[in-house]
Amino acid sequence: MAYFAGIDLGGTFIKCGIVDETGTVLVKDKIPTGSTRPYAEIAEDMGKLVLDLIVRAGLDRAQIKAVGIGSPGTIDSQEGVIVYNNNLHWRNVPLGPAVQAIVGLPVFVTNDANAAALGENFAGAAKAYDASILVTLGTGVGGGIVIDRALFEGNRSAGAEIGHTVIRMGGEKCTCGRQGCFEAYASATALIRQTKRAMEKNRDSLLWEVSPTLEAVDGKTAFAAASRGDRIAQKVVERYIDYLAEGLANMANIFRPQAIVLGGGVCAEGEALLAPLRKRMDRLLYGGTDYAPVALIAARLGNDAGLVGAARYAWQKTEPNA
């Protein structure tokens, strides 16, 4: 059995785990990122955490084949360099080589959303499928594309930006500078904005009972009021599902994966979201659903997806046929 270390680098926490060939996490832990510190200190903490976890797993460093890192931002995965990271204010940070110098093992870096997509494909909701796409609905819309069990990263790992495909030309302004992006309609942030707008227009809606102030609106507000029969809330939810379906159908029509895995907080709604979304998306799939159906399922690995996927990434980089 070979073992790998997987690291999920976030703005708040560094999560790390030792993962075996079956995708099982032997041990894991997290430490604060301390994101305002120089990158060298963060890299040192990451390396030390890996070495510590190897010992806690009862393993020897020689049994660990490689280390994978999922990092936010634009990643030059060839060089292990974070080209640009908005949250950590990093530019051209050689994170991979810095961690490698501490752990003395090969280190490979990919984007955190890509890592999560690979994790769900390797050991999570899409385990049964060779081709799957993860779409995470959070502050933004992130995700990754797995084809033939491997990540599709695009030229210089700059692709697979699922959230920044337009579903409405000239539409809502997106954080990326474009207008009408999938993210500007389907993220949790977008759902919150849509909910607030409906509340401002409808003072007698039950939405005001669920959330007495606009500030208190979250991704659950519209679903909660809709389930209590409020017509305004139901319209918000239906519209949101329409937007989601458009974006997902675009992904499905290009890549035709066997499954689309939905992640992020909004997915806590479960079948209240998935069942109508499935119906709506299926109607938009090119050629219908008889020949090559696309399963729509909820993510399963939760917070472990990133580190499991990062470990899998390291495995595939050291053994291309793994």
Q: How far is the CB of 126 from Zn ion (least distance, A)?
A: 25
**What's the maximum distance between 2 C-alpha atoms anywhere in the chain?**
66
CB of residue 32 vs Zn ion: minimum separation in angstroms? Answer: 30
Neighbours of 167 (CB within 10 A): 22
Closest to Zn ion by CB, 116 or 190: 190
Query: Do residues 145 and 155 lie in contact, with contact meaning Cβ atoms separated by under 8 Å?
Result: no
Stretch that binds Zn ion, among 65-73, 150-158, 163-171, 239-247 (CB under 5 A): 163-171
The piece of 50-58, 159-167, 293-301, 307-315 that touches Zn ion (CB under 5 A) is 159-167
Helix residue ranges per DSSP H, 263-304:
271-284
Render the burial of 262-301: b for 16+ CB within 10 Å, e for the rest. bbbebbebeeebbebbbebbbeebeeeeeeeebebbbbbb
Interface mask toward Zn ion for 17-46; x: CB under 5 A:
------------------------------
Residue 91 CB, nearest approach to Zn ion (Å): 21
C-beta of 118 vs 181, nearer to Zn ion: 181
Q: How many residues bind Zn ion (CB under 5 A)?
A: 5
Strand partners, 4: 19, 66
Closer to Zn ion by CB, 55 or 176: give it: 176
Neighbours of 320 (CB within 10 A): 8
DSSP H stretches of helix in the chain: 39-56, 95-103, 112-123, 183-186, 188-201, 207-210, 221-227, 231-255, 271-284, 305-318
For residue 138, the minimal CB distance to Zn ion (Å) is: 14
- Rounded Cα distance between 5 and 17, Å, is 6
Closer to Zn ion by CB, 45 or 246: give it. 246
For Zn ion, give the closer residue by CB, 176 or 275.
176
Cβ nearer to Zn ion, comparing 64 with 181: 181
Nearest distance in Å: CB 251, Zn ion: 15
* Candidate segments 94-102, 136-144, 168-176, 285-293, binder of Zn ion by CB under 5 A: 168-176
Report CA torsion sign: 302, 295, 144, 101: positive
| 168 is an interface residue for Zn ion by CB under 5 A | no
Of residues 57, 89, 68, the one with CA closest to residue 15 = 68
- How far apart are CB 311 and Zn ion at their closest, in Å? 30
Q: Which is nearer to Zn ion, 140 or 309 (CB)?
A: 140
Nearest alpha carbon to residue 51 among 36, 67, 35, 40: 67
Site residues for Zn ion, 169-208, by CB under 5 A, read 174, 176, 178, 181
Strands 74-76 and 64-71: unpaired
Nearer to Zn ion, 176 or 268 (CB): 176
Instruction: Work out which of 30, 127, 149, 164 binds Zn ion, going by CB under 5 A.
Output: 164
> To the nearest whole angstrom, how small is the minimum distance from the Cβ of residue 190 to Zn ion?
11
Binding site for Zn ion (CB under 5 A): 164, 174, 176, 178, 181
